[in-house]
């Protein structure tokens, strides 16, 4: 433990049944009304639970006491209201509690700042391999929710093939770009928002690369509630990386091996029907078509 580093406190809502924690947790703390949920979470994480009655009346003081005990560590706290949208990671900076941007939020901010530069840097052709996989699983006329439509290049090809597409993106800059091109588009953050539907299929091209394992679990579960068919891409490799390639701004990428990816899909209610590899100028990608089990 590094005593010079502040504690990272992951604030979760009281109902954490579906929440996956993607980092090493030292301990779980909970207010009295969240004790049952805290017990389940602590058991799942294999750590100790401490119930803190004063978290309700004196959240700032109690959080500071917890932070002082866990410098250099990450702990989970349930049932604290700091006026933040949960889940949230907070650190104490000396002037109060500050929300720490997630890797995904940093990446999203880069897309917001450099949407036009991104459009100029990527190939203009759609991802034909991924769309072929989708077309082999659902018929023409099917309704498709596209996550992370970006510039809209794949949506155009989907519509050319007879699909009905709902264009969405978490970056408002891309939403405005597609609207300026004359298409309906909605802002939808796959991590934070409901997908709506039902749809016949969900498509996500070069989107899941920005989600950590715990985040991707949540997205895959939401996709399974929204549609029976899923088509997506993932970068093949090991570990994670930050890159400022193309945009000169930081973006976070998560790489996958085939077996862990298949295992994650199975655990979230999907059966892989097709998995193809494709090469790009930045390396190999998986192109996956799965069906809800």
In the prediction, which pLDDT does 93 show? 72
Taking the C-alpha atoms of residue 171 and residue 258, their distance in angstroms, rounded to an integer, is 29
Q: Averaged over 51-57, what is the pLDDT?
A: 91
Q: Averaged over 27-54, what is the pLDDT?
A: 93
Q: Averaged over 179-184, what is the pLDDT?
A: 98
Residue 185 has pLDDT above 70, yes or no: yes
Average of per-residue pLDDT values in the chain: 92
- Report the Cα 144 to chain-centroid distance in Å: 19
Percent of the chain clearing pLDDT 90 (strictly above): 75
Residues 247-278: tens digit of each pLDDT: 999 999 999 999 999 999 999 999 999 999 98
How many Cβ atoms are within 10 Å of 33's Cβ, its own excluded?
A: 14
Residue bearing the bigger pLDDT, 5 or 90: 90
* pLDDT tier at 4, thresholds 50, 70, 90: low
Place of tokens 């989970």: 76
Residue 177 has pLDDT above 80, yes or no: yes
Helix 128-135 vs helix 153-160: angle between axes, to the nearest 10 degrees? Answer: 40
User: Which pTM does this prediction carry?
Assistant: 0.84
Residue 289: CB partners within 8 Å, gap ≥ 6? 133, 134, 136, 137, 229, 230, 231, 272, 273, 274, 275
In the prediction, which pLDDT does 39 show? 93
Q: Averaged over 230-258, what is the pLDDT?
A: 95
In the prediction, which pLDDT does 2 show? 46
Taking the C-alpha atoms of residue 75 and residue 66, their distance in angstroms, rounded to an integer, is 9
The CA distances from residue 90 to 51, 135, 185, in Å, are 19, 44, 33
* pLDDT tier at 280, thresholds 50, 70, 90: confident
Kind and range of the H or E run holding 161:
none
CA neighbor of 236 nearest in space, from 280, 187, 171: 280
Residues 67-123: tens digit of each pLDDT: 999 988 999 999 887 888 778 889 887 667 888 898 999 999 999 999 999 999 988
Residue 279: CB partners within 8 Å, gap ≥ 6? 285
Which strand ranges, in their side-by-side order, compose the sheet holding 186-187?
186-187, 164-169, 143-147, 201-204, 229-235, 283-292, 270-280
Question: What are the structural domains, with CATH classification, of the chain?
Answer: 8-100 (no CATH), 104-292 (3.40.50.150)
């Amino acid at each position: 433990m590094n005593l010079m580093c502040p504690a990272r406190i992951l604030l979760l809502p009281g109902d954490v049944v579906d929440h996956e924690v993607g980092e090493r947790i030292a301990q779980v703390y909970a207010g009295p009304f969240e004790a049952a949920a805290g017990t389940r979470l602590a058991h799942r994480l294999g750590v100790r639970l401490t119930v803190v009655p004063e978290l309700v009346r004196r959240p700032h003081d109690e959080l500071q006491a917890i932070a002082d005990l866990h410098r250099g560590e990450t702990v989970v706290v349930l049932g604290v209201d700091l006026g933040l949208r949960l889940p949230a990671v907070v650190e104490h900076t000396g002037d109060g509690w500050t929300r720490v941007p997630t890797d995904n939020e940093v990446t999203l901010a880069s897309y917001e700042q450099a949407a036009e530069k991104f459009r100029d840097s990527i190939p203009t052709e759609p991802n034909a391999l991924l769309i072929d996989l989708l077309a082999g699983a659902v018929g023409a006329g099917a309704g498709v929710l596209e996550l992370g439509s970006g510039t809209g290049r794949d949506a155009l090809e989907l519509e050319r093939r007879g699909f009905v597409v709902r264009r969405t993106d978490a970056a408002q800059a891309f939403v405005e770009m597609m609207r300026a091109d004359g298409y309906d588009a909605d802002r939808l953050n796959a991590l934070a928002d409901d997908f709506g539907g039902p749809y016949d299929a969900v498509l996500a091209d070069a989107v899941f690369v920005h989600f950590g394992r715990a985040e991707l679990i949540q997205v895959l579960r939401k996709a399974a509630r929204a549609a029976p068919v899923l088509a997506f891409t993932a970068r093949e490799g090991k570990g994670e990386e930050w890159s400022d390639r193309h945009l000169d701004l930081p973006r976070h990428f998560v790489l996958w091996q085939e077996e862990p990816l298949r295992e994650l899909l199975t655990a979230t209610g999907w059966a892989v029907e097709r998995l193809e590899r494709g090469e790009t100028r930045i390396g190999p990608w998986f192109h996956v078509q799965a069906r809800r089990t």
